Amino acid sequence: MPHYVSHLSGPAAGQGDIVFHNRFSRNEPESTYPALQWVLTVIGRDTIVRKGIFQLILLLSLACICVTGFFFGKHLLQLPFRASNDALHKDGAPFTLDFLIPGGAYVDEKTTIGDVIRIRLKKSGSPFDSFLRAVSDQIPSRYRYIGDVLLFFFWTLCFLSFLRVFTFMGYGRALRTSLFFGGIVYYFMPDLSPGRGDDIVFLLFPVLIILIRFYLVQRNRAKEKIFRKQ
C-alpha cells in the first residue's frame, strides 16, 4: 500500500499555519478583544453614537459642577457669620455681609450665614419678590399679562435649552417637558399678577398639551392595530 504523508508542504502548509495561529494564538490583538474592537468601530462610524457620548460627557460634567457647587454653598452657609464678616472688614474686601444683618435681631458668634439669611428673608421677603411687587404696581393690568406670558416662556426656554444640550430628547418631547417644568416654576416663583389664577392657568396649559398628545398617540396605535388585523 502506498504510504500517505500527512505533513503539508508549500503554500498549503502556510495556509494551515495561518488557520492554526488565528484559532489558538493568545497574542493576536484582533482575536483577543473582539468586543472592544466592535465598540471602537461603531463609535468611529456612527455619528449618532458619537453625539450621544458627547452629550453624556456634557451631562456628567454638569452633574459634577452642580454637586461641587452644592457642597461649596453648603460649606459657606455653615460658616459663622460674625467671624466671616469681621475677616472681610479686616482684609478690606469690597464685598461684606453687612447687608444681610436683619434689623432688630441679635447675631451671636454661633449664628451661621445660613441662619442670618433665613432671618432676613422671613422679615423682608425675597429680594426678587419685592422687586416684582414694586414693578407690578406701576404696570397697567393688560401689560401685566404680557409680562406673565414672557416670564412663563423664559422659564420654559431655560429648561428647553438644558434638555436639548444635555439629554437625548427630541424637540417635541423636550418642548412638552419644558412647558410642564416651566409651569411648575412659574407657579412657585413670584410674578407680575397677584393671586393664583394665572399660576393655575400656566400649570394646566402644559398638562393639557401632554394629555392631548397622549390621546392622539393612543388613538393612532389603536388604528394601526385595526389595520394589521384586517
pLDDT digits over 147-182, tens only? 889 989 999 999 998 888 877 788 888 899 999 999
Q: Are residues 120 and 150 in the same domain?
A: no
Nearby residues of 11 by Cβ (< 8 Å), 6 or more positions away: none
Domain presence at residue 211: yes
H helices of the chain, where?
A: 11-24, 29-32, 34-45, 47-77, 81-90, 113-124, 127-136, 141-166, 171-188, 197-229
pTM: 0.50
Burial string for 106-144 (b: 16+ CB within 10 Å, else e) reads ebeeeebbebbeebbeeeeeeeeeeebeeebeeeeeeeb
- Kindly state whether residues 216 and 137 are assigned to the same domain: yes
Count up the domains in the chain and report the number: 3
pLDDT beyond 50 at 16: no
* Same structural domain, 58 and 120: no
If asked whether residues 102 and 134 sit together in one domain, one would say no
pLDDT for the residue 129 = 66
Question: So what's the pLDDT on residue 206?
Answer: 92
Q: Is residue 158 part of a domain?
A: yes
Domain holding 132, by residue range, is 126-222
10 pLDDT higher than 50: no
Q: Identify the residue with better confidence: 127 or 167.
A: 167
- Domain assignment present for residue 188? The answer is yes
Give 210's contacts (C-beta < 8 A, 6+ positions apart): 176, 180
Query: pLDDT tens for residues 25-67?
Result: 444 444 456 666 665 665 556 566 666 677 778 778 878 888 8
| % of the chain exceeding 90 in pLDDT | 13
Q: Within this chain, do residues 58 and 141 fall inside the same structural domain, yes or no?
A: no
Q: How many CB atoms lie within 10 A of CB 31?
A: 14
User: What is the C-alpha to C-alpha distance for residues 93 and 90, in angstroms, rounded to an integer?
Assistant: 8
Average pLDDT, the chain: 75
Same domain, 183 and 210: yes
pLDDT surpasses 60 at 22: no
Nearest alpha carbon to residue 179 among 200, 143, 204: 204
